[in-house]
Structure 1
Amino acid sequence: MVYLFINIVTSLNSSTDEYALLAFKSQITSDPNKILEKNWSQGTSFCNWIGITCGRRHQRVRGLNLADMGVGGTITKEIGELSFLRSLIISNNNFHGFIPNEIGKLRQLQEIEMQYNVLTGSIPPTFEFLESLLKLNISHNGLTGNIPSRIFNLTSLIEISFWNNSLLGSLPMDICFNLPKLERLRISMNQLGGNIPPSLGACMSLKLLSLSYNNFVGSIPTEIGKLSKLQKLYLRRNNLTEKIPNEIGNLLALIYLDLGDNGFNGNIPKEIGYLSAIEYLDLESNSLTGHIPNEIRNLSALVYLDLGDNGFNDK
């Protein structure tokens, strides 16, 4: 009797998954290669449908991967019924409209990849409930509004990628207090402003920090010098001013440094010459003065250097 009950529950749950997937399919308005049209049908188990991965123990949907298939349409709210879903990947397609709030119900979700679509509206505040999330990439869309600050409390996150949208507001001052595992933070090409939070220095696992092409003001916080694993730092084309902090010289893992097209003034700190791994260094189009420190000339790994459009005394 217990075995029969378990089978009935499993069957009902599987039916819920199938219903959610068929609802998702019903909102697909463009399928040029007829991938879903021909393959997603009730005549076969949904675990055998293209792009679907099921768990071995319970025949429940664990992965939905339609990347690079050229499909388009809206994301139906029924996707929130796939309660065992761990991976949602629909990148490089033509999905449009809003991201449904119901995705916040998927508590086992570890990966969201929606980059390279034409999604609009705001980032759902319900994302704050995705406590298992490791990767969140919704770059290269048309998203607007502020970034929900509680997203930065998801302690499992390894990657946050929001670049090339139209996001507004500022970054929370405590942005890194709950992100011990974060390795990649990419928010370039938006309309964010305010100061760069000093708490970024608490993201000790950070390897890539990209805030370029925004409206950040003020200075680079000295706390960035604590990011001993940082390899790439992009701050190009903001409204940053004051001096480049000496603490930049502590970033010994740094390979790529782009501070171009800002309003930095004063001398180039000689400590930049201590970055022995640096390959790309761009400080062009600022208001830097004084002499170029001799230490920069000793950077043996350097393959690209641009110090143009400044006010150096060197001839």
Structure 2
Amino acid sequence: MVVKLSPGEVAAAGRSSGSESDVASLMEFKNAITQDPLAVLHNWKHRLHFCNWTGIRCNTEKWRVVTLHLKNMSLQGVLPPQLGNLSFLHYLDLSFNRIGGPIPSALGRLSRLNFLYLHANLLEGSFTHSLGNLRNLQVLTSWANRHTGSISTALGNCSMLRVIDLSDNDLEGTIPSQIGSLTKLEVLHLDNNRISGEIPTSVLNCTELRNLSLFNNSLSGVIPSEMGIKISKLEYLILPKIISAGRFPNHWEIARGFLGLNWRGMN
């Protein structure tokens, strides 16, 4: 159960060694924010119980931070590695801010994390392989940033992933075959990058896939045969023009609920 604390509950909650660690991690995050024009972190002070700080939610069993939600708060700064010490964190949303720098590898220690929203910031660098340690992660969005490098093969270890959106970056390399290990994946958006090569046939293992968008990349080859049969839940497929449909349309008659096959972007 996740709550905000009443004054009486604040007195009862107290501080454990674990919650003291959470407070220290949150203060490191606050210190890493160089501009807070909306003063959303103004009440992040020791005189107020940290479970009542803006954007924070705690559980009532161990009084540990489970949610850090500061979406669209005009925050500017970087992500400190100490965020990786919020070991009970389930939900992290820092989207629509002006947070820059790399994603610290320490985030790979957030073993309970289910939702990671980092999109629409100024984040740079490659995706750390340590994110592959997030075995409970269900949603990963980091679109509209400045990421470079290749898509980490370690993401194939995140077997609970349902949504990956890394569009509008500067990613290169190929789509890793390990994407086929994500059998719960429903949404994969990699459009507006510099990804090359072919769509791996392992994507046919992603039988829950509903939305696949890969346009404005340097992909080539043909759509994997039998996609319309094995990924029968697919509703939207948006590809670069250079990719050939191959035998795809013949199979697609079997797919249910298909709403759109579009070619966009690079010729």
State the TM-score, normalizing by the size of structure 1.
Answer: 0.70
Q: Tell me the amino acid that sits aligned with residue 180 of structure 1.
A: S
In structure 2, distance between residues paired with 1:220 and 1:18: 44
Residue 143 of structure 1 aligns to a residue whose secondary structure is strand
In structure 2, distance between residues paired with 1:152 and 1:17: 23
For 1:156, the equivalent position in structure 2 comes to 136
Q: Tell me the amino acid that sits aligned with residue 155 of structure 2.
A: I
In structure 2, distance between residues paired with 1:189 and 1:133: 24
What is the CA deviation profile of residues 123-179 of structure 1, one whole-angstrom value per residue up to 9, with x for unaligned ones?
Answer: 001111111111111111111111001212321111111111111111234531x22
In structure 1, distance between residues paired with 2:129 and 2:34: 32
Q: Which of 91, 102, 106 matches 1:122? A: 102
Higher relative contact order (CA 8 A, sep 6+): 2
- Deviation larger for 167-176 or 184-193: 167-176
Residue 173 of structure 2 aligns to a residue whose secondary structure is strand
For 2:212, the equivalent position in structure 1 comes to 233
For 2:231, the equivalent position in structure 1 comes to 251
Answer whether contact 1:206 1:229 (CA < 8 A) is retained.
Answer: yes
Aligned length: 253
What is the CA deviation profile of residues 263-288 of structure 1, one whole-angstrom value per residue up to 9, with x for unaligned ones?
Answer: 2136452223332311122124676x
For 1:212, the equivalent position in structure 2 comes to 191
For 2:126, the equivalent position in structure 1 comes to 146
In structure 2, distance between residues paired with 1:268 and 1:225: 15
Q: Which of 236, 242, 247 matches 2:221? A: 242
Residue 120 of structure 1 aligns to a residue whose secondary structure is strand
| Residue 51 (structure 1) shift | 4.2
1:245–1:42 CA distance, 2 compared to 1 (3 A): closer
1:95–1:44 CA distance, 2 compared to 1 (3 A): closer
- Within 5 A, what are the aligned runs for 1:83-98? 84-98=64-78
In structure 2, distance between residues paired with 1:220 and 1:232: 15
What is the CA deviation profile of residues 194-213 of structure 1, one whole-angstrom value per residue up to 9, with x for unaligned ones?
Answer: 11112211100001111111
Give the aligned CA root-mean-square deviation in angstroms: 3.1
- Within 5 A, what are the aligned runs for 1:163-174? 163-174=143-154
Residue 194 of structure 1 aligns to a residue whose secondary structure is coil
Q: Tell me the amino acid that sits aligned with residue 212 of structure 1.
A: D
In structure 2, distance between residues paired with 1:225 and 1:242: 16
In structure 2, distance between residues paired with 1:16 and 1:128: 17
1:144–1:203 CA distance, 2 compared to 1 (3 A): same
For 2:92, the equivalent position in structure 1 comes to 112
For 1:179, the equivalent position in structure 2 comes to 158
Q: Report the identity percentage.
A: 28
For 2:60, the equivalent position in structure 1 comes to 56
Residue 265 of structure 1 aligns to a residue whose secondary structure is coil
What is the CA deviation profile of residues 68-119 of structure 1, one whole-angstrom value per residue up to 9, with x for unaligned ones?
Answer: xxxxxxxxxxxxxxxx221111111111121011111111111111110111
Structure 1 unaligned runs (5+)? 1-6, 61-83, 288-315
